[in-house]
Amino acid sequence: MRTGPWSHEGFPSILALVEERAGLAPPSCPASAEEGITRAMARAGITDFDAYRMHIDSDPAAMDDLLTELTIGETYFFRTPEHFEYLRRVILPALREKQGANYNARLWSAGCSSGEEAYSMAALLMNEGWGNHMTVFATDVSRTALARARRAHYGEWSLRGPWAERMRAYLRPEGRQYVLSPEVKQHVRFSYLNLALDTWPSPDSGIWRLDVVFCRNVLIYFNNFTIEGVARRLHASLSEGGFLFTGPSDPPLGGLAPLEPILTEWGVLYRRLPPGTTVAVPDVLSLGEHEGPPPPPAPRMPMVAAPSVAPTSARAGTSPGVPPPRAVPGRMPETTPPKATGAVARRPSAAELGAARAALERGDWHEAATRMGALDADAETAASGVRAIANLDAQAAIYASAEAASRHPLVPGLRYLEALLLLGQGRLPDAERSVRQALYLEPTLAVAWLVLGRVLNQLGDTPGALKALREAEVLCAALPPDSVLPLAEGEHASDLGRAARDERIRLELTMIEGKAP
């Protein structure tokens, strides 16, 4: 952290304490972190870094204030409605069928911020007839955010989502704000909780034996060590068969705890596996076995195929002689596994290939992925299997890559491979998410920065695209010209750096021409 472009050595010392106490990862944008720390110090009336460090070390409220600056409490009612629809259409009916009409459902909004998520959960269950049989627990590390959540006064900005109208019935206009009705508030219990600390799950806090957990867009702030601990505690906080929702940008958790990844048309959620299921995850926390038989398998929602678009690699603007990273599984490369370059991939046998084709014909993607080795315990074998299945069925390969990445959450190559498959199907926002996850795991992947630049350019984010292309240039320039780049299909640093530079210059010229009168 101290090697970053800090304007004063006091900033990384403050962030080191924050990482120690709250498990936050080093910031991706040092300038923004410096601005946040400066604002927090100004509110505290302290200008000396050592004095401020002692202040936040001894005053929990001051630490909370700083955490509010360093994280983004971005939320609104029914954010990511696909999650709530899955809860309404799949999870709640299965829970009622299993437990009976008088069962009291237990849900948790982890990192609840100003409360919109927790209140959305309560309102949904009220609409589905669970009003007298549910409790929503809501926790956050910011006491300031919790005070706002308990007050439950909101503006139009909290109602900007596509499901906003579902919440208006529970909101009373008062001036320029809306006040939440007591009938919703009574179902939500707010409390302080630092997810990075090993103080939960516990019966005293209520955070245990939960049916549903929403922990969305929280894990992106944590370092890898903290993510591993939080994943194990999230698993331990669930009842057998309980469900966990994470955000689209959050790191995958499948390999960190015995959580079954469930792939839907909008992404992945997780389910705590029934007792007796063998998963190779060491030192998993557990509250012990719960009474009663294991729940039935969760209903699966079908994936919806995205419309195909022209391959990105065929777009104008690539450097002559430098092929861009393959984004379309017309023929996926048979080499370059996630962590090594040049290794020969495992080739499926004729019997495996035939069985996979038969599975694809009947729509069983899981069986096809298994036959081709895409779900193998070895990450390199899994990556080879994903490439092999991509030559048979692009949508099946996307399913296989998501499952493989969930089983190997710390392998950036699998996330990068997933991004290429998504890009080839024209699913640009999903491709951006996956390539960013790859860069989260390995920020020096020059080829991933190049792909991110291309994705952002197609999404219309020109400043972001230029920044990503420059990053690819810088990374390539720091290497010997003939260095073979990881995951770049044998491309040398000089060639890929030139490709990034040429694309950046063309994009800058396009911007200049667009501004010309």
Q: Given this model, what pLDDT does residue 338 score?
A: 36
Q: How far, in whole angstroms, is CA 480 from its chain's centroid?
A: 34
Q: Given this model, what pLDDT does residue 84 score?
A: 96
Cα–Cα distance, 63 to 55 (Å, whole number): 8
Residue 115 scores a pLDDT above 80: yes
Over residues 11-22, the pLDDT tens digits come to: 989 998 888 877
Ranges 42-51, 387-396, 440-449, most confident: 42-51
Which is higher by pLDDT, 266 or 386? 386
- What Rg do the C-alpha atoms of the chain give, in angstroms? 24
Residue 110 scores a pLDDT above 60: yes
Across 316-320, 460-464, 493-497, least confident range = 316-320
Q: Given this model, what pLDDT does residue 87 score?
A: 97
The neighbouring-strand residues paired with 213 are: 108, 244
Q: Given this model, what pLDDT does residue 516 score?
A: 53
CB count in 10 Å sphere of residue 414: 32
Q: What is the pTM of this model?
A: 0.54
Q: Average pLDDT, stretch 75-101?
A: 94
Cα–Cα distance, 240 to 46 (Å, whole number): 49
Residue 429 scores a pLDDT above 50: yes
Mean pLDDT computed over every residue of the chain: 80
Q: Given this model, what pLDDT does residue 20 score?
A: 82
Q: Average pLDDT, stretch 19-40?
A: 80
Across 12-21, 41-50, 301-310, 471-480, least confident range = 301-310
Residue 322 scores a pLDDT above 70: no
Residue 207 scores a pLDDT above 90: yes
Q: Average pLDDT, stretch 273-298?
A: 39
Which is higher by pLDDT, 337 or 252? 252
Over residues 365-410, the pLDDT tens digits come to: 777 778 888 878 788 888 888 888 887 888 888 888 887 876 777 7
Q: Given this model, what pLDDT does residue 426 score?
A: 86
**Residue 142 neighbours by CB under 8 Å, 6+ apart:** 64, 67, 68, 71, 73, 113
177 falls in which pLDDT band (50, 70, 90)? Answer: very high
Q: Average pLDDT, stretch 156-175?
A: 91
Q: Average pLDDT, stretch 167-181?
A: 95
239 falls in which pLDDT band (50, 70, 90)? Answer: very high
517 falls in which pLDDT band (50, 70, 90)? Answer: low
Q: Provide the pairing of β-strand 177-180 with 171-174.
A: antiparallel
Percent of the chain with pLDDT over 70: 83
DSSP string, 12-46: HHHHHHHHHHH-BPPPS-HHHHHHHHHHHHHHHT-
Locate 436 and state its tokens.
Answer: 């960013």
Across 196-210, 272-286, 303-317, least confident range = 303-317
Q: Given this model, what pLDDT does residue 192 score?
A: 92
Cα–Cα distance, 495 to 293 (Å, whole number): 59
**Cβ–Cβ < 8 Å for 130, 236:** no
347 falls in which pLDDT band (50, 70, 90)? Answer: low
**Residue 490 neighbours by CB under 8 Å, 6+ apart:** 335, 336, 341, 342, 484
Percent of the chain with pLDDT over 90: 40
Residue 296 scores a pLDDT above 70: no
Over residues 476-490, the pLDDT tens digits come to: 999 998 888 888 878
